[in-house]
Structure 1
Amino acid sequence: AGKPVQVTPVPITVAPAATITAPVAAQVTPIPPVPAKVVVAPTPVPRPAGIPLVEANKPSTKVAFSTLNPKPQKPKPSKKIPEQPEKEPAKKPEPIKLPPAPTPVKKPSKATGYKMKAFFGKEIKEDFKLSNKNNEIMVNSILPVSGSINLIGRDFSDGMNLVFNKTNQEGGINKKVIRLNMRDDGHENDISDSQVRAVLKKHPLFIGNFNSGALTSFLPVVKDKKMAVLFPMAGDVDLRREDAKYMVHLRPSIEDEIDALLTYAIRNKHSRKIAVFYEENQWGDNAVKSADKVIKRFGIRFVGKSSYPQNSVNVTQSIKEMDRIKPNAILCIGHYRPVYNLVRILVNKGHQNTLFLAVGNASHVIQRLKKARGIDIVTSSVVPNPDASEIPLVQQYRQEMKKFFDNRTLSQFSLEGYIAATIFVDALKKAGSPPTLGGLLKALESYKQAKINGFPVSFNEKTRTLSSTVWVNPGADKKWEVV
């Protein structure tokens, strides 16, 4: 190595820290290293007065000086640096101290829930009173009421508000009114996570939460009995745990929906060459695993799989893939706008005879595709037909929607919110006075082969789910089937 080079400190300004000094390194053009030699650029680069420059392509026995300071200085003998172990880096000058950068917000994952246990404090006992000193029963709900799937969150919220407003007008639950604290997450994992954190310490009860990723990250907190979640819209099988005593589901799982759709396609339409189109996130990935499990029961496999990014409507790559493999049926596990784009473009490319199947989240596209393209898309639903069902609870829903939300279209999501809120109110009436969390959970667990205004519910202890029925909608204006 060459002999040490003397340098002169030059002030450098680093915002927002105070002015500090740092050495100016000699500007050289790096070339591949040569063993036991120091190689620098062939042409000396001018430097300010007093800064030495090692001559190019020569051993460092002589020191050349810039013409601005012709008086040479005798070089000091170099000190032998002892060998350092590989893991122990050479001693460096004291680093420049800068203000600490802000900690980035990480997206929730399966592991984050375990790190959040301490944050949420102590276990919530079953005798926890659901009403406060103002005689209000507080309940939180985190839904996507903005963003790419805002119709789902808005509709579910409408259904809940119909029931809660009517209940409060009739005197509430033992003179206690229900207060729904709605929060919007825009279908973003980070926002959903922060919204849960923001309200959990104030009140631990949630209803109807949608985001699968956030729910999965909070599952350990639920298992530790530090929060309670009722009737989430997520259909993930992994969330249906017997040991998650503070979580109760209304809707069947996504696996149940996929089973109904594939049964319809294979038995009724004799489809065997089936592909999958799905959303790239935890919900979509888990749904595809369930789909693989279901299709094996029929002795076949999917001929292809393609995905689109979460919160995106760009399906270009999936169009190319489906056009290449030409399946006779496509199972769509996604939301309404991406599914609409996929179906519309594939039909334009000549796939009119392809059978399109979609889980219930895509139900908003049915009428639109029928009117615009004359295309029928087969969808699943976890609730009966909101437009035509003769179940008394659904008839009551239609009457109240017409009275209070006349400008809204009937949908399976507002009906699901209506049914969820109706069951919640019914269970609250059985939860004691004042109602407690333990009393509410016991009331929900007590539903065995029961009907709430005609809607069938039966609590399954292993999956902690109240409903197991899936309806299949064969297309616009067609009769729904239970498969």
Structure 2
Amino acid sequence: MSQETSNDIKLQAKNELIFGMSTALSGPAAELGKNMRLGIQIRLERENIAGGIAGRKIRLIAWDDGYEPERTIPNMRDLINQEDVLAVIGNVGTPTAISAIPIVNEEKTLLFAPYTGAGVLRKNPPDRYVINYRASYAEETSAMVNALIKEGGLKPDEIAFFTQRDSYGDAGYIGGITALKKHGLKLETDIVHSRYERNTLVVESALADILLADPLPKAIIIVGAYAPSAKFMKLARSAGLNSLFLNVSFVGSAPLAKELGSEMKRVIVTQVVPYPEDLSVPIVRAYHDDMKNYGSGRKTSFGSLEGYIAMEILIKAMHDVDGQPGRESIIDALENLREFEIGLGHKLFYDRKNHQASHKVWSTILRQGEFVPFDWKNIPSLLVP
């Protein structure tokens, strides 16, 4: 264990273990932040009832940044310097995470399990103060590309991209292009790539770019927020575009399904957590129990399950800390977990050189208004000749 800093000593003097969260609680990504917060909250509630960590209760302070980096910066500084949080957990979004990274590195405070798969949070060697749970966007888009080409028989130039015009959209696009190049794509310009502006619903020009493609793409990989992505897909169907739509996990399955309705078909979302209704998975059963007890009647979702898993990992690490957890000792405890299990059905891993616990990607498909498990082997039936 590393020597505790003066900040750690000050933090230990409190009666609570306080964690911070700067997330989207308003705007077009609000459901993602609310679900992530819910999952974290219900897991810490159970821990508190059981006595907390070394006799201290856990408290979460969640502040709204509206999915705007300009609002994340003061949130992060105030959470760390005024609220004296032990760590920041579950922030939502790539552009907001990018603004948070230099702050946590400067303040030597952990940013744990942010809801983003961007490569900027996955440096090699990793930043000490950035530790991820989820698979990367590159792993999600690679799973899509591999399925479309290997199982679906598509050629690389039969796949297009619709992405948000920022670091989040770019991260997904770059991951997809990298995968396509492994399957023979020569030039990026051979792929149609349309974009829209973050925190807007202005998708018409992006759709027009795709409709002008010749031939029309058979599959479109979407890297966006749920509201503009849903609008794009509905407008595309109205325009007669029959492409298969594939979304990365950040889109938010529950709000996306709500926006699309029960009539929309042939929409896939990759996931970084198990299906929230699969009670054969131990952690999903525990999640259901805690949702029932502490979730105030709210529905289960992929997003809240991800927050729940993040808090489960953090609690596991804190129980391994000698004495009261501090900012540095929590990081040491996470890195010392090495190979471990939390009931996901596969093993996770952390050490000093590996700051991403999971690399697994699940696939789901929209059926009658909700996303359910999907086997990539069935993808040929979804591709229009």
Give the shorter-chain TM-score range: 0.7 to 0.9
The offset of 1:274, in angstroms, is 0.6
Q: Deviations over 1:150-206 (max 9, x none)?
A: 100000000011011111112111110111111110111111112112222132521
Pairing of 1:105-184 with structure 2 (within 5 A) = 125=5, 128-129=8-9, 131-184=11-64
Residue 207 of structure 1 is matched in structure 2 by 89
Pairing of 1:177-256 with structure 2 (within 5 A) = 177-202=57-82, 203=84, 205-224=87-106, 226-241=108-123, 242-256=125-139
Q: Deviations over 1:5-46 (max 9, x none)?
A: xxxxxxxxxxxxxxxxxxxxxxxxxxxxxxxxxxxxxxxxxx
Please give the alpha-carbon distance, in whole angstroms, between the structure 1 residues aligned to 2:40 and 2:376: 25
Residue 16 of structure 1 is matched in structure 2 by none
Q: Structure 1 224/193 Cα, relative in aligned 2: closer, same or farther at 3 Å?
A: closer
Pairing of 1:410-449 with structure 2 (within 5 A) = 410-449=300-339
Residue 294 (structure 1) aligned to one of 159, 179, 182: 179
Please give the alpha-carbon distance, in whole angstroms, between the structure 1 residues aligned to 2:14 and 2:327: 18
Kept in 1: contact 2:72–2:100 (CA 8 A): no
Kept in 1: contact 2:94–2:116 (CA 8 A): yes
Measured on the aligned residues, the alpha-carbon RMSD in Å equals 2.4
Please give the alpha-carbon distance, in whole angstroms, between the structure 2 residues aligned to 1:407 and 1:271: 43
State whether structure 2 residue 166 is matched by structure 1 residue 277: no
The offset of 1:463, in angstroms, is 4.6
Q: Structure 1 277/462 Cα, relative in aligned 2: closer, same or farther at 3 Å?
A: farther
Q: Structure 1 157/393 Cα, relative in aligned 2: closer, same or farther at 3 Å?
A: same
Q: Structure 1 243/275 Cα, relative in aligned 2: closer, same or farther at 3 Å?
A: closer
Kept in 1: contact 2:234–2:260 (CA 8 A): no
Q: Deviations over 1:391-410 (max 9, x none)?
A: 11111112222333354222
Q: Structure 1 285/451 Cα, relative in aligned 2: closer, same or farther at 3 Å?
A: same
Residue 451 of structure 1 is matched in structure 2 by 341
Q: Deviations over 1:27-70 (max 9, x none)?
A: xxxxxxxxxxxxxxxxxxxxxxxxxxxxxxxxxxxxxxxxxxxx
Residue 381 of structure 2 is matched in structure 1 by none
The offset of 1:422, in angstroms, is 0.9
TM-score (norm 2): 0.86
Amino acid at match of 2:349: S
Please give the alpha-carbon distance, in whole angstroms, between the structure 2 residues aligned to 1:305 and 1:314: 16
Q: Structure 1 306/462 Cα, relative in aligned 2: closer, same or farther at 3 Å?
A: farther
Amino acid at match of 1:196: M
**More helix per residue: 1 or 2?**
2
Q: Deviations over 1:100-132 (max 9, x none)?
A: xxxxxxxxxxxxxxxxxxxxxxx9839824844
Aligned with 1:196: secondary structure?
Answer: helix
Please give the alpha-carbon distance, in whole angstroms, between the structure 2 residues aligned to 1:370 and 1:237: 29
Amino acid at match of 2:196: Y
TM-score (norm 1): 0.70
Q: Structure 1 218/156 Cα, relative in aligned 2: closer, same or farther at 3 Å?
A: closer
Q: How many residues align?
A: 360
Q: Which runs of 5+ in 2 are unaligned?
A: 378-385
Aligned with 1:373: secondary structure?
Answer: coil
Kept in 2: contact 1:471–1:482 (CA 8 A): no
Q: Structure 1 217/151 Cα, relative in aligned 2: closer, same or farther at 3 Å?
A: closer
Q: Which has the higher contact order (CA 8 A, sep 6+)?
A: 2
Q: Deviations over 1:295-332 (max 9, x none)?
A: 11111255201111100112100121111112111000
Q: Which moved more, 1:293-302 or 1:228-237?
A: 293-302
Amino acid at match of 1:239: L
Aligned with 1:307: secondary structure?
Answer: strand
